[in-house]
Structure 1
Amino acid sequence: MRTINSARYTYTAMAIHWMVALLIVCAFTLGLVMTDIPGLTPTKLRYFSWHKWLGVTVLLLAVLRVLWRLFHPTPPYPPTMKPWEKLAANSLHGLLYVLIFAVPLSGYFYSLASGVKVVYLGLVELPALIGPDPELKPVLKAVHYWLNMLLAGCVGIHVAAALKHQFIDRDGVLRRMLP
């Protein structure tokens, strides 16, 4: 007999989760598209701006999400989950939180090392915490790329685990994050 977990996240936590998920998919896709455009065209520059805006928005929502979570604990896992599954889930969630901060920050520092300011929504210039640095630029570019690839892999595992819980285990884990 399967146990259904009825505990759920708050609607605020759900909204932040799904907004961050959508923005990450958009930023990742836009990043792949824009880097494949040859040369420095107006379209490519526009996509770079949008990509940065998405990244800053993810970072702001990540801060909001962490603050929300400090005062609103996560619902418990179903009792049918094995201890190793709970450990894996907690570890993956922890890594996702780290990456949701690290990816936008690495992009921000890569942009600064490239000598390009970040102007959020074309209105708010973010502070330049570092100056242009031709030696640091390729390092930060690689860091940003590989953190994105790691984030994509972790998101894939996260989605696969949620679907496993929904369709194989039928234990209500996915339902906790659905409005």
Structure 2
Amino acid sequence: MKTQKFPPLAVVLHWLFAALIIWGIFSGFYASFGKPSPAVFNWISFINVSATALFTPLFFFRVFYRMTFRAPPLTELSVPNVVVAKGVQVLIYSMALVSFVSGWLMMSRPVNVFNLIHIPQPLHDPRVLAMWVSIHFYSNALLAGFVFLHVAGVLKHQVMGKRILQRMAF
């Protein structure tokens, strides 16, 4: 049986956001716990803030676009596996949204987008900012866990001979 693929735009958006989210998870946790030099910390923050500023509107487009087409059926998987896969996908989308929103709301300075655009910080109360920093941290920890489950599930099925990954191939 031939594997049915996602539309090309869905594939591009999937891999673009996969790269952004994986970069954000690793670089963000490294910046928080890896004790980088101030220059490296500032560079990571600059890239993450700029990339997120560019990708937030694209994220909303991605969600809208994803809701407009029917995904190819997961005929290779049992019904419980499909339910788990779709559930994890919803959790990834949800935590990515919380991460993007909390990232904006936790900003304690104007948002500098690749030194091209400066957007005023949305909030100023230090207690509210601290709350959003906490929400951002925990949403990213959950996002990392859900991404791990997603990748582990795909790899498990690939190893078992089920052509799951080919659905998202170019």
Q: TM-score, normalised by structure 1?
A: 0.84
User: Is it true that 1:157 corresponds to 2:149 in the alignment?
Assistant: yes
**CA distance in structure 1 between the aligned counterparts of 2:30 and 2:48, rounded to whole angstroms:** 10
CA separation of 1:122/1:84 partners in 2, compared to 1, >3 Å: closer, same or farther?
Answer: same
Provide the identity percentage: 25
Which of 91, 97, 111 is matched with 1:95 structurally? Answer: 91
In the alignment, which of 37, 48, 52 is matched to residue 49 of structure 2?
Answer: 52
Match among 131, 146, 151 for residue 139 of structure 1: 131
Query: d(CA) in 1 for partners of 2:136 and 2:67?
Result: 28
1:69 pairs, out of 63, 66, 70, with 66
The two structures, once aligned, show a CA RMSD in angstroms of 2.0
Residue 148, structure 1, aligned to residue 140, structure 2: yes
Distance 1:61 1:99 in 2: 16
Instruction: State the partner residue of 1:106.
Output: 102
SS of 1:75 mapped into structure 2: coil
Contact persistence 1:24–1:58 (CA under 8 A)? no
Alignment coverage as a number of residue pairs: 169
Secondary structure in structure 2 of the residue aligned to 1:74 = coil
Q: Which residue identity is paired with 2:87?
A: S
Paired AA for residue 50 in structure 2: W
> Structure 2: 5+ residue runs without aligned partners?
none
- What is the match of residue 124 of structure 1? 117
Report the 3-state secondary structure (helix = DSSP H, G, I; strand = E; otherwise coil) of the residue aligned with 2:20: helix
Q: Secondary structure at the match of 2:149?
A: helix
**TM-score normalised per structure 2:** 0.88
Structure 1 contact 27–54 (Cα < 8 Å) conserved: no
Distance 1:99 1:69 in 2: 16
Distance in 2 of aligned mates of 1:7 and 1:174:
11
